Amino acid sequence: MHAKKQKPANIILAVVMFLLSLFFLFPVIWMLANSFKTDAAITADMNTVKAFIPPALNGSFLDNYITILTDTDFLRYMVNTLFYAAILIILGIVVNGLAGYALAKINFPFRERWVLIIMMLMIVPTETIITINFLFVAKMGLLNTIFGYILPMIVSPFNIFLFRQVFISLPDDVWEAAQLDFCSPIKYFFTMVLPMSKTVVATVSVFTFLGVWNDYLWPSLVFTSSDLLTAQIGLNSITSNDNTTMGQTLAVITMITIPVIIIYALFSKQIVEGVVSTGSKEG
């Protein structure tokens, strides 16, 4: 569409934007470059442009990373978080997906009223109920357990609503045909409905993963001191340890960011569509 040759104004704009993006990202560039350095090198480089350049590749290049992975429980915290995310993605899709399907396609009493209630529950911020949920989990003796952490996080009014909006446009005749074949409703849901709605399943999975991986408040309440910590809470306990050097801190926060960058690179289309749809739905 555009001519191959760029107008000078376009080149100037791109160059200005590029400089702006470098300035915008200076904390991230600094983090990456210095996560490979000793504290002495970080301080020595601070006054020059070398502060933004990684050190030369040599034997001690990955020392900070190796120290964190071998001397602290950080690897375990990352594995914990991946495990919680996997459970919550599966349970979240099953529970919220089934509910979304019921609200979209199955005629049962007060269906429209439930939809309205779900939409109203979407407004309630988690911070309102976090104290009482913490009290619940504490009273049930589930503090410092996986159950206590996971149970309140499974259901999401937002995801139920999202599933319903997608399922509502699925054709009815497939459901009728499936019934004629005496296909059980549960089997039909898992073998027909979910595979037909790959996009929403992917979107919910990606956002569940990002939510679990990046969550701070709830895991910090449920997990006080144990092997069950998530990466974000582990990060806090590692960086507040006086023995941790600045370079090691930067290595930890780099490692904690790598999985979300990978997810973003793989699913950027779903993420951008998800973000844009929150805007267009409301706007």
Q: 152 vs 223, which CB is nearer to other proteins?
A: 152
> For residues 153 and 208, what is the distance between their CA atoms, to the nearest angstrom?
10
User: Distance (Å, rounded) from C-alpha 52 to C-alpha 29?
Assistant: 6
Q: Which span sits near other proteins by CB under 8 A: 57-65, 67-75, 82-90, 273-281?
A: 273-281
Between 127 and 242, CB nearer to other proteins: 127
Question: What part of residues 226-265 is at the interface with other proteins (CB under 8 A)?
Answer: 232, 235-236, 239, 246, 249-250, 253, 256-257, 260-261, 263-264
DSSP states of 102-135 as a string? HHHH---TTHHHHHHHHHHHTTS-HHHHHHHHHH
d(CA 176, CA 182): 10
Q: Quick one: which of 47, 58, 169, 225 contacts other proteins (CB under 8 A)?
A: 47
1: which DSSP letter? Answer: -
Residue 126 in tokens: 């988690």
- Of residues 41, 75, 87, 121, which one binds other proteins by CB under 8 A? 121
| Cα separation, 216 vs 235, whole angstroms | 10
The span of 53-61, 63-71, 72-80, 104-112 binding other proteins (CB under 8 A) equals 104-112
Other C-beta atoms lying within 10 Å of the C-beta of residue 33: 18
70 touches other proteins by CB under 8 A: no
- Judged by CB under 8 A, how many residues of this single chain contact other proteins? 87
Helix 74-105 × helix 157-167 angle, to 10°? 50
Residue 14 found at the interface with other proteins (CB under 8 A): yes
* Listed residue (268, 277, 264) closest to 161, CA to CA: 277
Considering the rule CB under 8 A, would residue 19 count as an interface residue with other proteins?
no
Site residues (CB under 8 A) for other proteins, limited to 127-186 = 127-136, 151-152, 154-155, 157, 160, 185
Binding segment (CB under 8 A) for other proteins, from list 57-65, 69-77, 106-114, 197-205? 106-114
